[in-house]
């Protein structure tokens, strides 16, 4: 075998990676290209106040991790159309973070008896977990492969989830850092407001060949 591939050891040639390591090593498989490309797309023109077609330069992988969070919010309307009335997106270019918040039914702030963790942690911080495995439930465009928002977590230097659960009277906050490698402990406080879900993430811009968020 080419003299063991020019001096490499068996251990160097045959490697086993964790799922998380594989996603970071082969991002194209999961989020698409991490290289900048030009494409003619529909975008909102702030000066004209309407959608226009325009050639833009963007990174598909970065677009994908934002889209995963936005689609989660859109799918929530299918679950709770009577109570969900807004999706708010904020982009802070100076600090390098993006947030997406929606009202309507949130994740239950409750311990999952089988997996011994709270549901928000399970959904946002563990691969191959999803409520989209239920083929009988209507969806907008959300995936059912168990990756979803976890890809956003993995391709972020910091990822924060906040849920307000009116039914259980609990507000849940949890943060991950270093590409989902470091998990913070969940923090819960009493809550008396209406259901909401808010995700804030700091994209790992270096992985997308970028120095900052820009237009």
CATH number of the domain where residue 119 is located: 3.30.565.10
Helix residue ranges per DSSP H, 80-211 = 119-125, 149-154
Q: Is residue 32 part of a domain?
A: no
Helix (H) / strand (E) containing 52: strand 50-58
Residue 42: how many other CB atoms lie within 10 Å: 9
In a domain, 12, yes or no: no
Tell whether 92 is covered by a domain: yes
For the chain, the C-alpha Rg in angstroms (whole number) is 19
pLDDT in tens, 91-147: 999 999 999 999 999 999 999 888 889 999 999 999 877 665 455 555 454 555 568
Residue 182 lies in a domain: yes
Number of domains making up the chain: 1
Identify the band that residue 211 occupies on the pLDDT scale cut at 50, 70 and 90. Answer: very high
Share of the chain residues as helix, strand and coil, in percent rounded to the nearest 5: 25, 30, 40
Average pLDDT, rounded, for the chain: 89
- Summarize the confidence of residues 18-25 as an average pLDDT: 91
Residue 171 structural domain:
58-208
pLDDT for position 214: 80
For 72, how many CA atoms within 13 A lie in the half-sphere containing its CB?
32
* pTM exceeding the 0.85 threshold for the entire prediction: yes
The answer to whether residue 104 is domain-embedded is yes
């Amino acid at each position: 075998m080419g003299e063991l591939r020019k001096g490499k050891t068996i251990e160097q040639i045959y490697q086993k990676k964790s799922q998380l390591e594989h996603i970071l090593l082969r991002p194209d498989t999961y989020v698409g290209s991490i290289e900048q490309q030009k494409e003619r797309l529909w975008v909102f023109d702030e000066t004209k106040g309407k959608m226009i077609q325009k050639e833009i330069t963007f990174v598909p992988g970065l677009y994908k991790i934002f889209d995963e969070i936005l689609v989660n919010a859109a799918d929530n309307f299918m679950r709770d159309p009577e109570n969900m009335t807004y999706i708010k997106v904020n982009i802070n270019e100076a600090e390098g973070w993006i947030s997406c918040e929606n009202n309507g039914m949130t994740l239950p702030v409750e311990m999952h008896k089988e997996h011994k963790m709270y549901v928000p942690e399970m959904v946002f911080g563990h691969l191959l977990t999803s409520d989209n495995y239920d083929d009988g439930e209507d969806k907008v465009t959300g995936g059912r492969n168990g990756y979803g928002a976890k890809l956003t977590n993995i391709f972020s230097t910091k990822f924060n989830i906040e849920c307000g659960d009116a039914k259980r009277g609990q507000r849940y906050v949890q943060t991950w850092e270093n590409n989902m490698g470091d998990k913070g402990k969940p923090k819960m406080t009493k809550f008396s407001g209406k259901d909401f879900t808010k995700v804030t993430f700091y994209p790992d811009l270096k992985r997308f060949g970028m120095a900052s968020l820009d237009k």
